[in-house]
Amino acid sequence: MVGRPPFAGQPDRSVADRAAAKLARLRAESLADDPLPVLLRAVEAMPEDLVLRDRLASLYLTRGEFASAAEAWERVLEKLPGRVPARIGLGCALVGVGRADEAEAHFERALRTSRDPAWARERIDACRERAESARGAAGPASATTASRPEG
């Protein structure tokens, strides 16, 4: 294999298999349809597992919990700064909390470092469209505050 694997420094396969089995047990024990408690318990049990943390961030983003998504992806990017999907996700989360300038910086870096810029551009454009739709649905007052940087 040439280059660094996408999750270099992660646990070996046997550890990953045990983690997957534990996640399956946690899912089976959960009576709720909500996967969040299961993922939170799994991340608590394996705090260095970046795959779990990445999935947690994605779940937060789909639930509209942008600050939590941003925090989770920041943790992933501390260890894997070149992980383009996490960088795009962080940008989307930052758009959600009204930090558009920071989001654009992450989008630009993702485009510069992606092996497939067309794929990255597609994801970034989809994120921007969702943000525009959300601002439009919230009304004009929200649209102005959502794009204003914190200060």
Q: Is the confidence at residue 145, as pLDDT, over 50?
A: no
Looking at the domain assignment, is residue 51 inside a domain? Answer: no
Identify residue 146 by its one-letter amino acid code: A
Query: What is the domain range of residue 75?
Result: 64-146
What confidence tens digit (pLDDT) does each residue in 80-133 have?
Answer: 999 999 999 999 999 999 999 999 999 999 999 999 999 999 999 999 888 777
Looking at the domain assignment, is residue 18 inside a domain? Answer: no
Q: What percent of the chain clears pLDDT 90, i.e. is strictly above it?
A: 56
16 or 72, higher pLDDT = 72
Q: Is the confidence at residue 151, as pLDDT, over 80?
A: no
Give me the mean pLDDT over the 60-79 stretch.
94
Q: What is the CATH number of the domain that holds 84?
A: 1.25.40
pLDDT of residue 70: 96
CA atoms of 110 and 121, how far apart (whole Å): 9
Q: Mean pLDDT over all residues of the chain?
A: 81
Range in 32-36, 131-135, 137-141 the model is least confident about: 137-141
Looking at the domain assignment, is residue 74 inside a domain? Answer: yes
pLDDT band at residue 142 using 50, 70 and 90 as cut-offs: very low
Looking at the domain assignment, is residue 78 inside a domain? Answer: yes
Please give the tally of structural domains in the chain. Answer: 1
pLDDT of residue 141: 42
Tell which residue, 137, 81, 141, has the closest CA to residue 112.
81
Looking at the domain assignment, is residue 39 inside a domain? Answer: no
- In sequence order, what DSSP letters do the residues of 57-92 get, joined into one string? HHHHHHHT-HHHHHHHHHHHHHH-TT-HHHHHHHHH
